Amino acid sequence: MADVSVGAFLSAGIDSGALVGLMCDAGQSAIERVTLSFAEYRGTAADESPLAERVALTYGTRHTTRVVTAEEFTDDLPAIIAAMDQPSIDGINTWFVSKAARELGLKVAISGVGGDELMGGYPSFRDVPRWVKTLAAPAAVPLLGTAIRRGVMLVGAPALRRQPEGRRHARIRGTFPALGSFAGA
């Protein structure tokens, strides 16, 4: 409960959908939900907005899908990087969904960000410990550890670029060359 309208950032994920459902179950009816869609992914499997819109329709409250263009992404990128403590996919998405909420006049919004981190829902929560265990002995050998890390980056970069956020972030490397290792290149 707040003295201003409370919105919700709604993706196609379980976390944000569950939060919206709980808000409705708690009696909130005037929820403004905001979903992001990136113009280059509209109409593809990478576009979360159709599923998010179905979730919104299920609960029957106001819903806005905010489309971000490649030009807007490029224009906002320097300010996004300057505002982040560390580069992350969630940080960029949060920037744009927060911008959309502000455009709608919202001052408060809930987000599902953190649920996967808390519950270990991303594959990396299983993969990284396995990689550390597997690569610990070879990494201890002088120069071999550096070669292995570079090999992992070469193998991981194409997989990162296949993800919508990864492709978007790979473009950061061209804008901010110092972030090349972050961008998966």
For the record, the structure tokens of 136 come out as 């610990």
Residue 156 lies in a domain: yes
Expressed as residue numbers, the domain containing 152 is 124-178
Rounded to 5 degrees, φ, ψ at 12 are -90, 10
Q: Are residues 112 and 132 in the same domain?
A: no
pTM over 0.75: no
Residue 28 confidence (pLDDT): 84
Tally DSSP H helices, then E strands, for the chain: 9, 4
Please indicate, yes or no, if residue 183 is contained in any of the structural domains.
no
Is there a single domain that holds both residue 102 and residue 156?
Answer: no
Q: Are residues 96 and 139 in the same domain?
A: no
Q: Same domain, yes or no, for 85 and 106?
A: yes
| Residues 95 and 29 reside in one and the same domain | yes
Q: What is the pLDDT of residues 136-159, one digit of tens each?
A: 887 788 787 777 767 765 655 555
- Dump pLDDT digits (tens) for 65-98: 999 999 999 999 999 988 888 767 678 888 999 9
